[in-house]
Structure 1
Amino acid sequence: MANITRYDPFNLDSVFDDFFKGFLVRPMALEGVPKAPEIKMDVTENDKAYTVKAEIPGVKKEDIHVSVDGNTVSISAEVKKESEEKEGEKVLRSERYFGRVARSFSLGSDIDEANATAKYTDGVLELVLPKKAASSAKRLTIS
């Protein structure tokens, strides 16, 4: 069965809603402009540790910095990307990106910084972050 609607020719709201629907809402991509890299990651947990796998392609391991403060982990990297295509003396295309990318997140438990390990292979940073042993609460006697 068809829906019946009443048309109001003096209701300009619906005209403008239809006209501007999607206008300036759709993401615009500029062709040929290099996109700033992002750190994409997977975080898994077991009883003893967290494992973080972060994708940071095209970065030297000397340019990656990881810091752990309690249950907060911060990963930052200095990205240097250059690509150039030449034909004779005339540069036809040149793409460059220099900058810093960073990502911070909090975990459910504090991290044992002394036993944490980091490994960077094929553009993937793998962190093994052991959980700190739960400290037992100390009961105080009131005098």
Structure 2
Amino acid sequence: MFLIPATRRGHGRTLYVNGALDRLFDDALAHAFGQRAPARTAARTPALDLSETDTAYTVTVDLPGVTKDDVKVSVDGRQVTLEAQAQAPQERKEGERTVHRERSTVSYSRSFTLPVEVDDAASQAKLDNGVLTLTLAKKVAPAASRITVN
């Protein structure tokens, strides 16, 4: 029995298999002939949780293996974009050779639109143990003013 890994993309619980079958056969052939499977950079869409208060949105995203220097968050009006990259360690001791490697560089990318514009000056981002927490302050609409008629 073969298990084919699937990644969740799109809306709801729709699952698409992106080249998993090709990778399965490529890796099996490489293993059969004593070769190492090629290193891949996997692109992932991280799952996120979004909550709202009267003044801000709170976004929580799991980004395992990422340091705060590798995270980029940009806000353009209502559009929020997250990009991050986790590097697989490449350290080797002298006289040591890699026999099998499954860990690779992983890229995370996610973009979403909020119902209200974000005040990027009042917003905050915090990364703690691979969990990114964004506190995105809502832009306050200017209060209505009254014009005196002369």
Query: By how many angstroms is 1:98 displaced?
Result: 2.7
Name 2:76's counterpart in structure 1.
69
**Structure with greater strand share of residues:** 1
Q: Which amino acid aligns with 2:75?
A: V
Residue 42 of structure 1 aligns with which residue? Answer: 49
TM-aligned CA deviation for residue 135 of structure 1: 3.0
- Give, as a single letter, the amino acid of the residue that structure 2 aligns with 1:131: K
Aligned runs of 1:1-143 on 2, under 5 Å? 27=17, 28=20, 30=23, 36=42, 37-82=44-89, 91-98=98-105, 100-136=107-143
Structure 1 unaligned spans of 5+: 1-25
* Count of matched residue positions in the alignment of Structure 1 and Structure 2: 115
Provide structure 2 residue ranges, at least 5 long, that are not aligned to the other structure: 1-15, 28-36
Identity of aligned residues (%): 39
Instruction: Give the C-alpha shift of residue 115 in structure 1.
Output: 0.7
- TM value normalised by structure 2: 0.61
CA distance in 2, matches of 1:49, 1:75: 18
In structure 2, the CA distance between the partners of 1:138 and 1:122, relative to structure 1 (3 Å rule), is same
CA RMSD after TM alignment: 3.3
Residue 58 of structure 2 aligns with an amino acid whose one-letter code is T
- Are residues 91 and 100 of structure 1, via their aligned partners in 2, closer, same or farther at CA, if it must alter by over 3 Å? closer
